[in-house]
Amino acid sequence: MTRQDFAEDLAYVIKNWSIEELKERLEDLNSRGINDLAEVIASEIVIRSN
């Protein structure tokens, strides 16, 4: 993954997540022990890139 790919995926996540979706994802990941927003965003980018 290039920096450009990462930037595009990050922009997609920021643009397309509603506050409610973000809360749901944070709650879901928090229940699995992931509570850092950077990890949440990174996990979404990994999901999108597969």
Task: Note the pLDDT tens digit of each residue in 8-42.
Answer: 877 887 788 777 887 787 787 778 776 666 777 77
The pTM score is: 0.40
Range of the domain at 41: 3-49
Contact status, residue 10 vs residue 41, Cβ threshold 8 Å: yes
Structure tokens at 16: 């397309």
Q: What is the pLDDT of residue 50?
A: 63
Better-scored residue on pLDDT, 44 or 12: 12
pLDDT at site 35: 64
Domain total in the chain: 1
- Given pLDDT bands bounded at 50, 70 and 90, which one contains residue 2? confident
d(CA 41, CA 50): 15
| SS3 at position 27 | helix
Give CA–CA dist 30/10, Å, rounded. Answer: 20
Q: Is the per-residue pLDDT at 1 higher than 70? A: no
